[in-house]
Amino acid sequence: MLHVVDTVEVEPEHVDEYLRVVGSEGIGVMTAAGARFGGCRTTAKHLGEAVLVEVTWEADDHEHWNAVRKALVLDPRWYAYGDRLSALRTGGRRRFFYPTRLGAPPL
């Protein structure tokens, strides 16, 4: 399983709108393309600094993710969704994670 983790910076006053757009548009666009919604988390809004919003999407592997990406490029909703999000964020990054097994701790 591949976890595609988007971590973006959003000013506190834009967090609620950012989350609304992800929930009302992003999940539909991404799942129509074949991704699965993995979850969403934020840091606290009351700290006086940018809030980090972490959204995780899931795919079987990179081959499956490439099929998702191709479907997104062909969907005009993807571009509208991206424009709305980019107006609300100040920065961010995407990382790809695979589950790993932890061995037994050494004695």
Domain annotation covers residue 7: yes
Residue 78 lies in a domain: yes
Is there a domain that residue 102 lies in? no
Quick check: is 14 in a domain? yes
Average pLDDT of span 63-90: 97
Q: Report if residue 45 sits inside a domain.
A: yes
Decide if 103 is inside a domain: no
What one-character-per-residue DSSP string does the chain give?
-EEEEEEEEE-GGGHHHHHHHIIIIIHHHHHHHT-EEEEEEE--STTSSPEEEEEEEEESSHHHHHHHHHHHHT-HHHHHHHHHHHTTEEEEEEEEE---PPPPPP-
pLDDT tens profile 5-40: 999 999 999 999 999 999 999 999 999 999 999 999
- At residue 105, the pLDDT reads 73
Residue 37 lies in a domain: yes
Question: Do the domain assignments include residue 87?
Answer: yes
**Predicted model pTM:** 0.90
The number of domains in the chain is: 1
User: Which residues sit opposite 89 in a β-bridge?
Assistant: 10
The residue range of the domain holding 29 is 2-97
Please state, in angstroms and rounded to a whole number, the distance separating the CA atoms of residues 7 and 95: 8
Mean pLDDT of the chain: 95
- Model confidence over 53-62: pLDDT tens digits? 999 999 999 9
